[in-house]
Amino acid sequence: MLTVDSVVKTFGRRRAVDRVGFTLTTGEVLGFLGPNGAGKTTVMRMIAGRLEPDAGKVCVGPHDMVRARRAGQKMVGYLPEGAPAYRTMTPREFVGFCLSVRGHSGPQLRDARELALDRARLGREANQQIGTLSKGFKRRAALAAAIAHDPPLLVLDEPTDGLDPNQKHEVRALIREMAADKAIIVSTHILEEVPAVCSRVIVIDQGRIVVDEEPDDFAARARSGRLDDAFRSLTRPSAEAAS
Amino acid sequence: MMVSTAGFFAIYRREMRAWFTTPLAYVFLAAFAFAAPAFAFNIGRFFDTNRADLSPLFAYVPWLLMILMPALAMRSWAEERDRGTLEILLSLPVSVSSIALAKFAAAWTVALGALVATFPMWISVNYLGSPDNLAIAIAYLGAFLLAGSYLAIGQALSAASGSQVTAFVLSMLATLLMTMAGLPLVTDSLSGTAPALLVEALAYSSVLERFSAFERGVVGLGDLIYFLTLIGFGIAAGGLQAGASREGGT
């Protein structure tokens, strides 16, 4: 479903992503971990077709995300970092807007929109202006827009950031529910999410992949068997060097 | 240039909705509907001319548009970037040219609304006398094209600017230069120092010079091409600038 082939991205003199490569198949939920500034968001933006790699390539299905960007983007649902959305729209209007840009119309658009709003548990807030919603509901609105066209690949940049424990539980349940027929990438700083939803973990540090394995194998790297200890032992040297 | 029809209309509708769900468009339309006749009546001495035409109105329209079009254009791309929604737009399967065209078309529609808001004056001159309505319609067409040119340039600068305020100031400067380039004040002061060819080129490229033909009720092919080229250039420059963020990452 997804092939990331040795992609490189440089901003100014800083190499944000350095020859990152992996593949993802349908049914996999990939936990994308790494310290702040490690390059996770940049990789996700390249997968979503928002950013072009300087070298290497990203293919979604058979589509190269530079040469056949729009065909590839039809197959991707992307929840950007911070879940941006138009403040004067309601979630219902926002999801409808994203669907109509994607070419949906009439009953097909209506059905897809209502299903997405329902799955993201927006409830009555679906008709309230996004600018007046809490952070959690804003995130759900953006999540609904990302899943509405039923894409085979989902790229979710910190989908549970700012949610309360109940909302986090619901989003994780939704990810598990969708996992069977989709390939999903979830970036997160919340390590407890990894065993809860992910079937695979990639840790990225200073733009490079340092771990690509199953969550249990990753946890086993620490003597305590805890994910946060494994994460710290892998990424602390670079964090200390940076500080 | 690939334009997706579904994407174009969806973004056009969203832009129009964004104008009219906030007081912005209403304030803009009211300002234009009040200011244009105010200039025509008070400075243009509409009644003193004793002629049934709208020349006192069209004499001031370029100056009003010079201020109001940058205000209309400033939010187009800069706001998307400020609020992070450019991330959403550029991750949707729609070409940047469709986005740029839709943004321009929506703002141009609001500008058309502003010009239509001055139609009571047109109706009034028909009540007071027998004006050359075709000439007035052509002058309105010129004003519409002029508004489009200012808008397109303003939107290109909005795509290049980090904030809406910067976009507004840069657009005002650009439209001021485009408007004043052909004025005797500018050409006379340059004629002593700059090469004659440059002064002539400056006067030739002035939007006022081009607009004056429409004011007289004449549609020249050259003038039409001039305005359409400015519009096309502005839309393309805005789209290219926004699309370039795929490479740069901003």
Collect all residues with Cβ–Cβ distance below 8 Å to A134 and sequence separation of at least 6.
Answer: none
State pLDDT tens for residues B47-63: 666 676 778 888 888 98
Angle at B218 between CA B214 and CA B222, to 5 degrees: 80
Alpha-carbon B233 to chain mean position: 13
pLDDT interval class at A204 (50, 70, 90) = very high
Asked if B246 and A48 count as a contact pair (C-beta separation under 8 A), the reply is no
* Residue in B91, B99, B101 to test binding to A, most A beta-carbons within 10 Å: B91
* Portion of chain A with pLDDT greater than 90, in percent: 66
* Portion of chain B with pLDDT greater than 70, in percent: 94
A152: phi then psi, degrees, rounded to nearest 5: -75, -15
Residue B11 pLDDT more than 90? yes
State pLDDT tens for residues B165-222: 999 999 999 998 888 877 777 777 777 777 878 877 777 778 888 898 898 888 889 8
The pLDDT score that the predictor gives to residue A243 is: 54
Residue A135 pLDDT more than 90? no
Asked if B43 and B131 count as a contact pair (C-beta separation under 8 A), the reply is no
The pLDDT score that the predictor gives to residue A189 is: 84
> Hey, is the C-beta of A127 within 8 angstroms of any chain B C-beta?
no
Lowest mean pLDDT segment, chosen from A22-26, A141-145, B2-6, B13-17: B2-6
**Parallel, antiparallel, or unpaired for β A29-33 and A183-187?**
parallel
The pLDDT score that the predictor gives to residue B146 is: 95
Lowest mean pLDDT segment, chosen from A5-14, B3-12, B92-101, B106-115: B3-12
The pLDDT score that the predictor gives to residue B1 is: 52
Neighbours of A50 (CB within 10 A): 27
Collect all residues with Cβ–Cβ distance below 8 Å to B227 and sequence separation of at least 6.
Answer: B142, B145, B146, B148, B149, B207, B210
Q: What is chain A's length? A: 243
Query: Which residues are bridge partners to A183 per DSSP?
Result: A153
State pLDDT tens for residues A68-126: 999 999 999 999 988 899 999 999 999 999 999 999 999 999 999 999 999 998 889 99
At A225 the three-state DSSP class reads coil
The pLDDT score that the predictor gives to residue B187 is: 76
Distance from CA of A54 to the nearest CA of B (A): 8
pLDDT interval class at B124 (50, 70, 90) = confident
Residue A239 pLDDT more than 60? no
The pLDDT score that the predictor gives to residue B184 is: 77
Asked if A203 and A44 count as a contact pair (C-beta separation under 8 A), the reply is no
Q: Do A100 and B247 touch (CB under 8 A)?
A: no
Q: Per-residue pLDDT averaged across B128-150, rounded?
A: 92
Q: Do B93 and A74 touch (CB under 8 A)?
A: yes
State pLDDT tens for residues B88-108: 999 999 999 999 999 999 999
Q: Do B92 and A48 touch (CB under 8 A)?
A: no
Residue B46 pLDDT more than 70? no
Which contacts (CB < 8 Å, 24+ apart) does range B224-229 have?
Answer: B224/B145, B227/B142, B227/B145, B227/B146, B227/B148, B227/B149, B228/B145
Q: Per-residue pLDDT averaged across B223-246, rounded?
A: 91
Alpha-carbon B32 to chain mean position: 13
pTM of the model: 0.89
DSSP string, B30-84: HHHHHHHHHIIIIIS-TTTT--SS-HHHHTTHHHHHHHHHHHHHTHHHHHHHHHT
At A181 the three-state DSSP class reads coil
Which of A42, A78, A88 faces B91 most closely, judged by CB atoms? A78
Q: Per-residue pLDDT averaged across A139-165, rounded?
A: 92
Residue A238 pLDDT more than 90? no
The pLDDT score that the predictor gives to residue B23 is: 86
The pLDDT score that the predictor gives to residue A165 is: 87
Q: Do B95 and A89 touch (CB under 8 A)?
A: no
> Hey, is the C-beta of B246 within 8 angstroms of any chain A C-beta?
yes
The pLDDT score that the predictor gives to residue B218 is: 86
Name the more confident of A224 and B230: B230
Name the more confident of B21 and B235: B235
Lowest mean pLDDT segment, chosen from A27-36, A122-131, A159-168, B78-87: A159-168
Highest mean pLDDT among A14-23, A157-166, A167-176: A14-23
**Among residues 51-80 of chain A, which lie with CB inside 8 Å of chain B?**
51-52, 69-71, 73-74, 76, 78, 80
A6: phi then psi, degrees, rounded to nearest 5: 50, 50
Name the more confident of A229 and A127: A127
d(CA A29, CA A84): 23
Helix B75-83 vs helix B221-248: crossing angle, to nearest 10? 10
Which residues of B fall within a CB distance of 8 Å from A93?
17
Q: Per-residue pLDDT averaged across B153-173, rounded?
A: 92
Asked if A126 and A117 count as a contact pair (C-beta separation under 8 A), the reply is yes
